[in-house]
Chains A and B, each alone.
Chain A
Amino acid sequence: MKKRYLVVALILLSIVSLFIGVKDISPLELFDLTEEKTQVMWIARVPRLISIIIAGVSMSIVGLIMQQLTRNKFVSPTTAGTEDSVRFGILVALMLFPNASPLLKLLVAFVFALLGTFVFMKILDKIKYKDSVFIPLVGLMFGNIIGSITTFFAYKYDLIQNMSAWLHGDFSTVLRGNYELLYVSIPLVIIAYLFANKFTIAGMGEEFAINLGLNYKQVVNIGLFIVALVTSVVILTIGTIPFLGLIIPNIVTLYLGDNLKKSLAHTALLGAVFVLCCDILGRLIIFPYEISIGLMVGVVGSGIFIFLLMRRKAYDR
């Protein structure tokens, strides 16, 4: 898959995405839209497209960084407890400051995400048996535990349905004025790109990286910082999109290998294209209603993930 094919696909799908919806707008009338249609365009459709692209790009890149740093192909925010920590953080923010501004919520969620991811890294250090399948298992169990603590408090304050509604990945609620927080992840993606080579070296192992003169601890911390912040931002504005950070980087490394600098651009593009595809499908299947992105990616993603696992097994033998 060449990069330019992905770019073309992304542009085509973006155009398609802009013209799908209950309000019928055809590409031909783009230059003489009625007042109403212009508003639909600028308040709903364009923000939706932007948020899809940002979420797709940043979540995939975050997954790639995590996989580099842990040297395990099956680690991602879903399988390392990061997403569950963010949810816990959001709940805590809601309980302590009911009228919190989005920025404050983001801050609390981010602190929790960072803590959760650090604890997970700590656990990884202690695991002696580094079977590549075992590590995501530990991560998912760890996530379940944080989830159970969240449930404990959510149940007490009768917030369970609210929590699951807010945090279920869904683009249909994206409107101008409530998605702008997502822009926070753009500079983070750029930082990730600048640090790409260092992440690649860090991925070769602590001792090796230090031998090569890399400040290993600092690079890992920067990586985790990006991971935690991006995950918090995306979950707060869109909700959970399971498996996204897992499958996209895996597909890209299948044909590009482990050089982060090379694969970053592909990962970003493929992530955006994939989310865009799922979103368009979700909007068309039960038109005029829509299937949320959380469910679409959950179904498609788990299928692809199982396929990847099976394939890995086939190579092992």
Chain B
Amino acid sequence: MKAKIGILTIVAIVLIAIFMSIDASGNWDYVLPRRLKKILAIVLTGAIIAFSTLVFQTITNNRILTPSIIGLDSLYMFIQTFVIFIFGSTHMTLMNKNVNFLISAGLMVLFAGLLYKWLFKREGQNIYFLLLIGLIFGTLFNSLSTFMQVLIDPNEFQVVQDKMFASFNNVNTDLLVISFVLVIAVAVYFWRYMKYLDVLALGRDQAINLGVPYDFVVKRFLIIIAILVSIATALVGPITFLGLLVVNLAHQVMKTYQHKYLIVGSVLISIVSLVGGLLIVERVFTFSTTLSVIVNFIGGVYFIYLLLKENKSW
């Protein structure tokens, strides 16, 4: 187990080193700080997405769900489209990135919080029920943003379209600092509950039998996931299927049920695939398409394969 993690770490470091140094041609002063910022954004979002998907799949006991299913991605797109629809794209570019980040992340956390609060008020709600309600809200937000997207000017639409796909370029340094602080705070909070994950993986009834305060812990985890996903989405944009892809790969590579290994493994795989994917996009396709479109494509195809092939996991 440790050997596998060691190998993954080495691969990640090598890829990062290649990414930092490729085609630098001596302009280190210019290249390094810019790439460092990009790499930090990638590592942060990759880790967040892998981690939150893993926890989400454990508490839902299901390998085919991702946290974005509760409608956060759609809400993010709705907020962005709405701002451009009302104020126009010039405003969007003028608008302070920090403000946009704080508004988007804040609204997403608020939405998730209200959703949870409303649903958990009644005792004993099925968690799938929560997800389905979230999904319906997602469809609602989608209809609203499509309606606006149809109406706006094609030039303005280009700006919306850029927002549809995650981008690691031009991530603001201030935002990176804020996000890192927030993520570390969440991680500290999470630490106390980490021990429950292995037991939760056994299923609701088993976990309750073994003395886990199920509802209490699951609520905490759901809140943590909502905060993390909001941060990642507001920082770079939606990448729906990355988590699905890397967590399933992690399960296959690590072949364990111990979450301390799974978490590290999936985070590393996520970083490796993002950095590797970015290298391929920038060097092989030379930017003709965006990374998140490719990730979603590969993730989607892999997922259909999973659904049709591997029926024993669920």
Contacts and interface: CB of A to CB of B under 8 A. Distances in A.
B partners with A: yes
Interface of A: 74, 78, 119, 122-123, 126-129, 131, 133-134, 136-138, 140-142, 144-146, 148-149, 151-152, 155-156, 160-161, 164-165, 168, 170, 242-243, 291-292, 294-295, 298-299, 302, 305-306, 309, 313, 317
A204 B149 CA distance: 44
B150 A306 contact: no
B144 A295 contact: yes
Interface of B: 64-65, 69, 122, 124-126, 128-129, 131-133, 135-137, 139-140, 142-144, 146-147, 149-150, 154, 157, 161, 164-165, 240-241, 288-290, 293-294, 296-297, 299-301, 303-304, 307-308, 311, 314
Contacts of B146: 164, 168, 294-295
Contacts, number: 120
Nearest to A146: B300
Q: Residue among B136, B154, B157, B297 with the most chain A CB within 10 A?
A: B136
A156 B290 CA distance: 9
Contact of A155 (B125, B139, B293, B307): B293
B126 A305 contact: no
B293 A145 contact: no
27 contacts: A74-B132, A119-B304, A122-B308, A131-B128, A134-B128, A136-B132, A138-B307, A141-B69, A144-B300, A152-B296, A155-B293, A156-B288, A160-B164, A161-B157, A164-B146, A164-B149, A291-B147, A294-B146, A295-B147, A298-B143, A299-B144, A302-B137, A302-B139, A306-B133, A309-B129, A309-B133, A313-B122
B307 A142 contact: yes
B240 A149 contact: no
Contact of B314 (A129, A140, A313): A129
B76 to A, nearest CB: 15
For the residues of B in contact with A, the DSSP-based class is helix
Given A152-B289, A161-B157, A294-B147, 14 more contacts: A119-B304, A137-B128, A142-B304, A145-B300, A148-B296, A148-B297, A160-B164, A164-B146, A243-B139, A295-B146, A299-B144, A302-B136, A306-B133, A309-B133
B289 A164 contact: no
Contact of B140 (A129, A131, A149, A299): A299
Contact of A131 (B124, B126, B307): B126
A168 B147 contact: yes
B147 A127 contact: no
Contact of B135 (A140, A145, A151, A292): A140
Contacts of A123: 307-308
Contact of A152 (B64, B136, B150, B297): B297
Contacts of B301: 149
